[in-house]
Every structure is written in structure tokens, then in C-alpha cells.
Amino acid sequence: MPIRQLKIRGVRNLQPLDLTLHPGVNFIYGANGSGKTSILEAIVLMATGKSFRTSQLKHVQAQDADRIELVFDIEDEALGQCQLDSLRLKSGDNLLKLNGSVLTAQTEAAQWLPVQVIEPTTFKLLSGSPEERRQFIDWGVFHVEQKFIEHWKVFRKQLKQRNAVLKEKELQWLPVWNQTFAESAAVIDNYRRTYLKRFKPEFERILQQLDDSIQVQLAYYPGWDRDSELNDVLNKQQERDLALGYTQSGPHRAELRIKVDKQPAAEILSRGQQKTVVAALKIAQGALFQQESGRRTIYLVDDLASELDEKHRFALCKLLEDLKCQVFITSIDKDKLTDIWQPVASKVFHVEQGIISEDSPATA
């Protein structure tokens, strides 16, 4: 699933670049503020339409640029070859194309770019909001279940309509919307449960290889009392929902609870241990995706040395190497990258003041 070539224009401090990439490991090193993380950010922007560094895309655009232009040439084991083009203007307008044809949804680009990011703030997957963990589950379901996205769209429509009925206090319509909402919710819940049943053993295997001293339990909460039917819950909460004007229970409130000794992992583990657990979650997700689809995840690892000692860096790199996937990995120190990975076939890029150059040829 490699990105063969990428062109980036108008992203932060990066000078216009045109890179031919390695299908395996791509090392990117340079001083803080040089622009190396911005390359990873551009890849995530193409894949998701979002940045992992800021919620406001205007901050991604270079100050002296009137647009962001991204062009990716991709070769996929199953889907074939394609060119993705993204154009984002200062006005907020966005144009996304696949082989010259306009795409109407970001998810169409996401199918070509199954990207996982491991970076210094990824421990927020443990300490952040339930929404981040729901998105983590749904990434896995989306990439292995082709019909999931359509069911998700239906569910979101049902949720929006039920909330509108609650706000308008249209009591006569609530029984109808309760039933259709519960039916749609059951489909989403079943997808998630089925996926997590397959995911848990893969996560445990990966975490064991990264650090066998960390024991973590994963528990899924569907968004309502698991011992009750959702329709019954909706009826019991109807007065409260009407007062609030929105639906309190359902898949939109689901949670992946990550615990150590029955306590939230974020409260028990050190920062380094949290990053190890998050790395295990993301590598396991990519491994499962590969097993079930025959395709490979693209991994973006920003600041490898951050809060990971040499032992854990080596274990992380070994797992990624075994997956034989494309990896983009950044560091301030070139030696901390290449020493761990050699003799893996790779390319090394150096970034200085927004200018990137290839530091060494691909290794045979």
C-alpha cells in the first residue's frame, strides 16, 4: 500500500517538494521546526481531511500561500494504482479528485490511504475524550467492512432526526423515531462488537511483544446499559431527553474502556507506558487490517525517541518491519533512526528550514 510519489505545496514552512518515496521505510530527520512533521501532517490531511496537530486547517497553510496543493501517486495491492489530488483554498473551499474525477466524500480518499499516526500526543487515545476511542474503533470497522460507512450515514441521519423531534417536543413522533433509531443503532453496535472480538487477541499479542510487563484490559461500552434493550432505555429517558433536547444514549456515546487493574490506564501508567500501549493499539489495528483485507496500513511515526527508550524503540520498529508496510518515521537524530532499522531497505531524507533532500540512496 505504498505512496510512490507525493507533491506538497503551501503547507506550513515547507518549500514546494516532489518526493519519490520508498515502498518500505522512509526516514526523515532534521532539527525541531525544520518541517519534518509537516510532511506527515500533509499525508494525514490527504487521508482524512484533518490535521493531527491542529483543529484549524488555516494554521496548516503557509502564511504566504493562497492554497494547499497535494498530489499523491498510490499503488495498492488490491485496489490498483491511482492519483489523488487535493486543493484547499484560503476561503475554505476544497476540491478532491481521484484520477481526475471529483470525489464527493473524504471517505473515498480514506479508502486508498489507511493511515495510522504514532506521535508524542497519541497517549490522548487513553486520556482524551470517548470520541477519540470511538473514532479508533470505527477506523478499524470502516477499513474492513465495506458496508459500514453506509450504515453509519443512516445512523447519523436517524440521530439527527430524533434530536430534531426532541427539540420541537413532537411527542407523537417519538415512538416511531425511537424504533428506527434503535434498529439503526443495533447495526452499528453489532459491527463494533464483532470487530473488537477479533481485535482484542491481536492487541494482546502485539502488546506482549512491545512490553510483556504491561497488562491492559479492553472493555466495550455500547453507549447504553448493556443489560437493557436500547428502545427500553430511550423510553425511560424520554423526559430527560426532551428536557435536554438531544439523545443521551446510543452508539454515539459508545466507549472503549482501557484499564489496568480495573483503573483507567491513563491514571496508572507512565507517559512512556501509555505511548507503548497506544503504539500496540495502532499496530494491532494495522495487523488485523492486513490479515483481513490483504492490504497494508501506512504508518507515520513522529519523533520516535519521544518517551520511548532504546528497547521499546527497537521492539516497535521490529513489529513494523514484520508487517512489511510503508513507514514514515521522523527524528531529530539520524543515528537513532538508521541504527535500529539497518539493514532494512529504506530512503533517508533530511529537512532543513523547510527544504528536503534525499540523504542516501535506497538500500538494496
CATH number of the structural domain spanning residue 5: 3.40.50.300
Taking the C-alpha atoms of residue 1 and residue 295, their distance in angstroms, rounded to an integer, is: 6
* pLDDT tens for each residue of 52-73: 999 888 889 998 899 999 999 9
For residues 313 and 32, give the distance between their C-alpha atoms in angstroms, rounded to a whole number. Answer: 20
| Separation between Cα atoms, residue 39 and residue 300, nearest integer Å | 10
Q: Where are the alpha helices (DSSP H) in the chain?
A: 36-48, 106-110, 124-127, 130-144, 148-168, 174-210, 230-236, 238-244, 265-268, 271-293, 310-323, 334-341
Q: By mean pLDDT, which of 19-28, 50-59, 238-247 is the weakest? A: 50-59
Last residue of a domain, one of 262, 294, 326: 294
- CA 157/CA 181 separation, integer angstroms: 9
Same domain for 302 and 271: no
In the chain, how many domains are there?
2
Q: Report pLDDT for 304.
A: 76
Q: Say how far apart CA 317 and CA 283 lie, in whole Å.
A: 11
Q: Are residues 105 and 82 in the same domain?
A: yes
Distance CA 251, CA 184 (A): 9
- What was the pLDDT predicted at 310? 82
Residues 97 and 27 in one domain: yes
Considering the domain architecture, whether residues 361 and 265 belong to the same structural domain is answered as: no
- pLDDT for 363: 43
For residue 32, say whether it is annotated as part of any ligand binding site.
yes
Q: What is the pLDDT of residue 343?
A: 64
- Write out the H or E segment, with its range, that includes residue 348: strand 346-352
Tell whether 333 and 212 lie within a shared domain: no
Give the model's pLDDT for residue 226.
Answer: 84
pLDDT of residue 364: 38
pLDDT at 361: 55
Q: Cell for 199?
A: 481485535
Spatial CA neighbour of 138 closest among 218, 193, 202, 205: 193
The verdict on 37 and 17 lying in the same domain is yes
Full DSSP string of 208-242: HHH-TT---EEEEE-SS-TTS-HHHHHHHTHHHHH
Same domain, yes or no, for 258 and 133? yes
Q: Are 127 and 277 in contact (CB under 8 A)?
A: no
Q: Say whether pLDDT at 5 is over 70.
A: yes
Looking at the structure, do residues 264 and 153 belong to the same domain, yes or no? yes
The more confidently predicted of residues 248 and 56 is 248
Of 79-83, 255-259, 317-321, minimum mean pLDDT range: 317-321
Residues 90, 127, single domain; the answer is no
What pTM, to 2 d.p., does this model score? 0.92
- Span 160-180, mean pLDDT? 92
317-350 residue pLDDT tens: 889 989 999 999 998 888 766 667 766 778 999 9
* Distance (Å) of CA 350 to CA 102, 125, 317: 34, 30, 20
Q: Is 37 annotated as a binding residue?
A: yes
Residue 132 and residue 11 share a domain:
no
* CB-CB contact of 5 with 21 (8 Å): yes
Give the lowest-confidence range in 47-56, 188-197, 352-361.
Answer: 352-361
Q: Confirm if 24 and 346 have CB atoms less than 8 A apart.
A: yes
Q: Which three cell numbers mark 214? A: 504491561
As given in the structure block, the three cell numbers for residue 52 are 493531527
Name, in order, each residue with C-beta under 8 angstroms of 327's C-beta and a sequence gap of 6 or more: 24, 25, 26, 298, 299, 300, 301, 320
What is residue 338's predicted lDDT score, i.e. its pLDDT? 67
Domain extent, residue 24, equals 1-114+295-364
The Cα–Cα gap between 295 and 77 comes to 6
Of 143-152, 192-201, 230-239, 340-349, least confident by mean pLDDT is 340-349
Please identify which residue in the block is written with the cell numbers 497494508.
296
Confirm whether residue 35 is marked as ligand binding. Answer: yes
Q: Tell me, what's the pLDDT at 40?
A: 96
DSSP state of 267: H
Calculate mean pLDDT across residues 307-323. Answer: 86
Q: Are residues 229 and 307 in the same domain?
A: no
Average pLDDT over residues 37-62: 92
What is the chain's length?
364
Question: Among candidates 316, 322, 319, which has minimal Cα distance to 331?
Answer: 316
13 CB-contact burial (10 Å; exposed 0-12 / middle 13-18 / buried 19+)? middle
Q: Which of 260, 277, 294 is where one domain is finished?
A: 294
Q: Which three cell numbers stand for residue 211?
A: 512490553
Q: What is the pLDDT of residues 211-244, one digit of tens each?
A: 999 999 999 999 999 889 999 999 999 999 999 9
pLDDT at 147: 94
3-state secondary structure of 58: helix
The verdict on 90 and 222 lying in the same domain is no
Say if residue 286 carries a ligand binding annotation: no
d(CA 118, CA 4): 21
The domain boundary residue, chosen from 254, 272, 294:
294
CB atoms within 10 A of CB 225: 13
Q: For all residues of the chain together, what is the average pLDDT? A: 92
Nine-digit cell string for 221: 461500552
- Is position 30 annotated in a ligand binding site? yes
Q: What is the mean pLDDT of residues 71-96?
A: 92
> Is 104 annotated as ligand-binding?
no
- Residue 354 is labelled as binding a ligand: no
pLDDT score recorded for residue 362: 44
Rounded to an integer, the average pLDDT of 105-134 is: 92
